[in-house]
Copies of this chain bind each other. A is one copy, B any other.
Amino acid sequence: MKKLINTAQSVVEDALSGMAAAHPSLRVRERVVYRASGPRAGKVGLVSGGGSGHEPLHAGFVGYGMLDAACPGEVFTSPVPDQIVEATRAVDGGAGVLHIVKNYTGDVLNFELAAELCDDVQVASVLVDDDVAVEDSLYTAGRRGTGATLFVEKVAGALAEQGAPLAEVARVAAEVDERSRSFGIALTSCTTPAAGKPTFELPDTQVELGIGIHGEPGRRRVPMASARELAAVAMEAVHGDLPLAGDLLVMVNGMGGTPLMELYVVFAEVEAFIRGKGARVSRSLVGNYVTSLDMQGFSVTVCRLDGELTRLWDAPVDTPGLRWGR
């Protein structure tokens, strides 16, 4: 294993130091990443979090128009309730706080516990479970939460910024999750710094369809195929679960080790597939947004837009990982 780290034990701490140094708009305090500008009175606060290793998710999405705070756990490990309690109290501007939680058992339990401990703050919660690959998985009852987390954070963040009340922000956040589906394919395993060796073995001639963002098993393994064929597998899985129709927000996401050039090749195939179904890519993202350390591969996430969601997607955002309009 060759990784740009000091020690496996300090990697999350060291990366957070780098984030703080690189982004004056962020403040890192006791394993929570906040907007340096602090909470805004009357605005619903947004808190998310989860294991590290998925950068820029979540800390890279703290800032105007998205999150107020992110709670990074150790690599592929849920944040502890204390972090979430601290973050929730700190970002409450009097209008309550929305927890955005990816559907992994540890995350769900720790966010729930934290919400109970914050009985002085009005807390609502949205569960993200967009991955159609498998119904139950290594760390999950039900479907896993993956790429749609970014969509939920962006859309709910825009609505909160506009002064909507907590119940409305929570409702729209849940609606984004309901309208979104994802599917991922791995070309290689990831390697966690602590383990020092690949999480799973995958032969040079095979890919894993329906991979999880921690390397959890997917649906099956098949021989390596062309970008066109792999994109079709992913899109058929999505389309089979939520028919592609109308205006879509589409993300082709890299798993961390895949070059941008290849992601654009995949995006061209995804776009052609969608056109072939009579639907339309209305908004898109291509890049590394919800990663799995150094894994090679991609995931595709699709959200069926309407006018309101499109306006909220287009609203200004200013975070290290996503920025437009200001």
Residue A187, interface by CB 8 Å: yes
Question: Which of B7, B188, B256, B264 is the one whose CB lies under 8 Å from A55?
Answer: B264
| 0/1 string, A1-42, CB within 8 A of B gives 1 | 011111100011011111101100000000000000000000
In the complex, chain A residues 216-257 whose Cβ is within 8 Å of any chain B Cβ? 224, 226-228, 230, 256-257
**Chain B contacts for A82, CB-based, 8 A:** none
* Given A5-B265, A21-B271, A291-B323 contact (CB < 8 Å): no
Asked if A261 is at the interface of the complex by the 8 Å CB criterion, the answer is: yes
What class of interface size applies to chain A in its complex with B?
Answer: 35 or more
Q: Are A2 and B261 in contact (CB under 8 A)?
A: no
Bound state CA distance, A230 and B6, in angstroms?
10
Residues of B within 8 A of A257 (CB): 257-259, 294, 296
A268 on the interface (CB 8 Å rule)? yes
Question: Distance (Å) between the CB of A305 and the closest chain B CB?
Answer: 15
B261 x A293 contact (CB < 8 A): yes
The A interface is mostly helix, strand or loop, or mixed, namely: mixed
A259 x B14 contact (CB < 8 A):
no
Cβ of A52 within 8 Å of any chain B Cβ, yes or no, is: yes
Query: Among residues 255 to 275 in chain A, which have CB atoms less than 8 Å away from a CB atom of chain B?
Result: 256-269, 271
With A11-B265, A261-B15, A265-B15 known to touch, is A5 a contact of B227 (CB < 8 Å)?
A: yes
Of A204, A228, A267, A281, most buried by chain B (CB within 10 Å of CB) is A267
User: Are A4 and B263 within 8 A (Cβ)?
Assistant: yes
Is A105's beta carbon under 8 Å from chain B?
A: no
Taken together as a complex, chains A and B put the C-alpha atoms of A3 and B188 apart, in Å, by 10
Determine the distance from Cα of A11 to Cα of B60 in the docked complex, in whole angstroms: 30
1/0 contact string of A145-174 vs chain B (CB within 8 Å) = 000000000000000000000000000000
Chain copies in the assembly?
A: 2
Roughly how many angstroms separate A14 CA and B267 CA in the complex, as a whole number? 9
Q: Are B296 and A2 in contact (CB under 8 A)?
A: yes
Identify which of B2, B18, B269 contacts A264 (C-beta below 8 A): B18
Cα A68 to Cα B268 with chains together (Å) = 23
Within 8 Å of chain B (Cβ to Cβ): is A126? no
Distance of A33 from chain B, by nearest CB (Å): 11
Contact flag A2-B204 (CB < 8 Å), given A18-B271, A260-B55, A288-B260: yes
Question: Given the known A-B contacts A187-B2, A226-B6, A265-B5, are A288 and B288 also in contact in the complex, defined by CB atoms under 8 Å?
Answer: yes
Asked if A21 contacts B267 (CB within 8 A), the reply is: yes
- Asked if A212 CB lies within 8 Å of chain B CBs, one says no
A286 within 8 Å of B (CB atoms)? yes
A207 at the interface (CB under 8 A from B): yes
Interface residues of A (CB under 8 A from B): 2-7, 11-12, 14-19, 21-22, 52-53, 55-56, 60, 187-188, 204, 207, 224, 226-228, 230, 256-269, 271, 281, 284, 286, 288, 291, 293-294, 296-298, 318, 323-326
Sort A-B residue pairs by CB-CB distance and give the 8 closest, nearest first: A18-B264, A18-B268, A4-B262, A55-B260, A18-B267, A17-B268, A15-B264, A21-B271
